[in-house]
């Protein structure tokens, strides 16, 4: 990756006081994530969405420990970035995307197979389908008032969220199963430092089939990541309490 490319694309949003990439720190997170089922090492990219400069080093370290998995790693990282873009914002994911491009060019990876989502416009128009996906993700989460307020006062935002986020991105994905996709989203929101949304998406991830062990691991690492990136969670996320709330609402 040339210095010109880094300055123009990958490092364009880098804060002057940003901490440098620490290979041992990120390797420790990767090792801890190997105990999560399914392993979510590529999801570490979510912690550094505002740090595109870290992405090439992160991918490089991962591939050095998992040789021969270039296509799999790139596919997972690309899908993770795509999934979380609406939740954390395009300006935050673009440097990470450019970091992926830089690493692809460095490794001279060509003819990368990219399978687009098989969701056409006519399917998106079928409101029942994407509303059912929304209901599936948030089943038992207990945030119905949020959807009601947004539908009433921000109808365009509500339509976009349901069709694009739940219908197209989460519902049409072909890299991760839905429960893993939601776990990636939850991890990104935790690393972003958004406490209220982190609680909701932890509940969503559990009710979609992720274990308490997985969420506990993601929450612990996510809090460390949010601290490292300067986006510490302002309030505690009490996972056992969230599990109890979820069980009460679903029974």
3-class state of residue 89 by DSSP: coil
**CATH 1.20.1290 correct for 3-115+174-250:** yes
Q: Is 50 exposed, middle or buried (0-12, 13-18, 19+ CB in 10 A)?
A: buried
Q: Which of 23-27, 116-120, 131-135, 221-225 has the highest mean pLDDT?
A: 23-27
Alpha helix positions (H), the chain: 3-5, 23-33, 54-65, 70-88, 90-106, 121-125, 127-137, 144-153, 155-160, 178-192, 195-207, 212-228, 239-250
Whether pLDDT at 128 is above 70: no
The pLDDT, as a whole number, for residue 150 is: 92
Whether pLDDT at 46 is above 80: no
* CA dist list (Å): 221 to 26, 90, 93, 199: 10, 23, 20, 15
What long-range pairs does 239-243 form, CB within 8 A, spacing at least 24?
Answer: 239/202, 239/212, 239/215, 242/199, 242/202, 242/203, 242/206, 243/206, 243/212
What is the percent of the chain with per-residue pLDDT over 70, rounded to a whole number?
89
The token pair at 3 is: 């210095």
| Sign, Cα dihedral of 29, 31, 36, 38 | positive
| Sign, Cα dihedral of 40, 124, 207, 242 | positive
| Sign, Cα dihedral of 179, 239, 78, 122 | positive
Place of tokens 């460390």: 224
The pLDDT, as a whole number, for residue 156 is: 94
- Comparing CA positions, the residue from 19, 47, 54 lying closest to residue 33 is 47
The pLDDT, as a whole number, for residue 34 is: 79
- Comparing CA positions, the residue from 97, 95, 84 lying closest to residue 198 is 84
Task: Please work out, in degrees rounded to the nearest 5, the angle formed at the alpha carbon of residue 137 by the alpha carbons of 133 and 143.
Answer: 115
The ranges assigned to domains in the chain are: 3-115+174-250, 121-165
Q: Which of 115-119, 127-131, 162-166, 244-248 has the lowest mean pLDDT?
A: 127-131
For 135-148, letters b (16+ CB in 10 Å) and e give ebbbeebbeeeebe
The token pair at 188 is: 């990104």
**Rounded Cα gap, residues 50 and 145, in angstroms:** 31
- Comparing CA positions, the residue from 211, 224, 183 lying closest to residue 28 is 224
The pLDDT, as a whole number, for residue 121 is: 62
Q: 30-39 pLDDT, tens per residue?
A: 888 877 776 6
């Amino acid at each position: 990756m040339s210095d010109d490319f880094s300055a123009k694309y990958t490092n364009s949003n880098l804060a002057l006081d940003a901490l440098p990439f620490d290979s041992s720190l990120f390797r420790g997170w990767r090792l801890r994530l190997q105990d999560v089922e399914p392993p979510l090492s590529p999801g570490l990219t979510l912690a550094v969405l505002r740090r595109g400069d870290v992405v090439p080093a992160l991918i490089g370290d991962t591939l050095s420990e998992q040789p021969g998995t270039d296509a799999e790693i790139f596919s997972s990282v690309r899908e993770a970035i795509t999934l979380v873009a609406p939740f954390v914002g395009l300006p935050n994911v673009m440097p990470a995307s450019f970091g992926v491009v830089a690493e692809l060019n460095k490794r001279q990876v060509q003819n990368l197979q990219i399978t687009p989502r098989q969701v056409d416009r006519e399917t998106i128009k079928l409101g029942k389908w994407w509303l059912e996906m929304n209901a599936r993700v948030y089943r038992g989460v207990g945030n119905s008032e949020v959807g009601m307020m947004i539908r009433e006062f921000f109808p365009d935002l509500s339509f976009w969220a349901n069709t694009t986020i739940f219908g197209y991105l989460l519902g049409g994905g072909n890299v991760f199963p839905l429960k893993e996709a939601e776990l990636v989203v939850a991890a990104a929101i935790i690393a972003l430092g958004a406490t209220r949304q982190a609680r909701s998406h932890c509940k969503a991830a559990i009710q979609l089939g992720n274990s308490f062990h997985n969420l506990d691991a993601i929450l612990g690492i996510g809090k460390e990541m949010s601290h490292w990136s300067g986006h510490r969670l302002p309030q505690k996320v009490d996972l056992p309490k969230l599990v109890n709330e979820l069980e009460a609402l679903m029974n």
